[in-house]
Amino acid sequence: MTARDRSWLLGGAMVVLELLAGMQTYVTSTVTPLLAAELGGHNLYGRAMAAVQAALFLTLPLSPWLIRRWGGSRVLAWLTPASVVAAVVAACAPTMESYIAARFTGALSSGAMAGVGMGIIAVQLRGRVRQLVLAANSVMWVLSSLVGPAYAAWLSAALSWRWALVAYLPALVAARWVIVSELRGREDSDKGSTPIPLAGALVLAVSIGLLGLRPAVDVVGASLALVALVGVVIGARRVLPSPVLDGSQGAPAAVRLLFWISLAHFGADGIIAIVAHDLLGFDAVRLGLLLTVGGLAWAVLGIVTGAWPAGRRRAGWQLPVGLVVIASGLGMTAFAAMGAVAWLWAGWVVVNLGMGLVYLDTLNLVFGAASQPGMGAAEAGMAVVVVESLAGAVAGTLATSVISGRPEQAWLLLIGLAVGVLPGLRQVRPALRSSSASITA
């Protein structure tokens, strides 16, 4: 088998894994309000989110070291069983506290594996193969947006949310084993990742844990949240590559753009199912359908933008339009959180259409211009992992923390997220500069 054939095989395996990862996301979003209702854990939404995100940042610094020392294939082979056991324990949890503990343990494994997938895309795949894999991942999100919520909703209604957490695990194990087998013999243990400062990651983990410790709805909670956010800024400055922080153009600016995109979308994604179930009375079936139509909107538009990457001129207007569309959709969901149920459907579809317009082309900007000083392919891959994890952790943890204490204020959170995506407009033009390799002419 030629090197090109092996790249296509590895890329195909990564695409299948993306499908299963997408399903995991939809399963978690769908079952969280259902399990909270059964286990009496509505007041622990924030702690549940904080536990997972803090665990990710506790072990995220180990991911580059493990990959450098042992290779991504061994990391996947060793840690996949641990994550499977944690998922089974979470499915058997008798209380919300034990469920959170199991999710915390599973997230420790996930954080250590975090650099593998993006490292493969950044280092092992090249040129058109990389672009097509990113585009094919959008196709998988089409499938996962259909299969994931339907699978979770059907199993939760027919059997239990507990079965929804574990029934897909054999397929996940099989997909990872294929990737492990293909990576062996072609890895260079000195490539594919870049170190993350341990001290900075620990500051992030502690800060994110503080965000979920107490709902930020009173003086004490707000004070803890403020201290935590200061800690997040300090930790981020130690963890992210210096070009991302010093205002550099090209790939670093695209990483900053990705942060604002992720902050808005993943923050909303963390609470949309809670709003639908706890405030608007959605059952498992309607909840699954809501998440399906939203994910489908993102994925279908992502297929188009992935198959025909934006040229410099088109990206100059497409990316700002996409950011404004995301903000508009979040505004619509905020209106829905005040009781206008129909707006929730429309708003969530609009949010995801905006993501379809911006997400893949932003990734193409990051990886295509990732050969400039201080931002090589490995650094770019890890920067994407850190930025997406950090944005989702901060926005998701803070939002779920507030909604745990005062769910009636969900509309304010959604308005805040809508405003939060707009600073990304300032990063579009710098991201397009010195990035001729990232997008087609």
pLDDT single digits (tens) 337-366: 777 778 888 999 999 999 988 888 888 788
**39-43, 52-56, 342-346 — most confident range:** 342-346
The predicted structure's pLDDT at residue 420: 85
Percent residues over pLDDT 90 in the chain: 8
**Topology classification of domain 3-432:** Growth Hormone; Chain: A; (1.20.1250)
pLDDT of 371 over the 80 cut: no
Q: Phi and psi (nearest 5°) for 309?
A: -55, 145
Torsion over CA: 97, 103, 108, 114 (sign): negative
**108-117, 237-246, 262-271 — most confident range:** 262-271
95 SS3 class? coil
Radius of gyration of the chain (CA): 20
- 113 in Cβ contact with 76 (< 8 Å): yes
pTM of the model as a whole: 0.70
The rounded mean pLDDT for the chain is 78
| Distance of alpha carbon 157 from alpha carbon 365, whole angstroms | 42
pLDDT (mean) for 219-234: 82
pLDDT of 305 over the 80 cut: no
pLDDT (mean) for 66-73: 72
The predicted structure's pLDDT at residue 246: 77
Q: Is 425 exposed, middle or buried (0-12, 13-18, 19+ CB in 10 A)?
A: middle
Q: Is 127 exposed, middle or buried (0-12, 13-18, 19+ CB in 10 A)?
A: exposed
- Kindly indicate the confidence band of residue 441, based on its pLDDT and cuts at 50, 70 and 90: very low
pLDDT of 324 over the 90 cut: yes
Q: What is the DSSP string of 167-189?
A: TTHHHHHHHHHHHHHHHTTT--T
Percent residues over pLDDT 70 in the chain: 79
- Kindly indicate the confidence band of residue 249, based on its pLDDT and cuts at 50, 70 and 90: confident
pLDDT by residue (tens digit) across 171-187? 888 878 877 777 766 55
The predicted structure's pLDDT at residue 190: 45
pLDDT (mean) for 104-129: 71
pLDDT (mean) for 225-237: 84
CA dihedral 221, 225, 227, 229 (to 10 degrees): 180
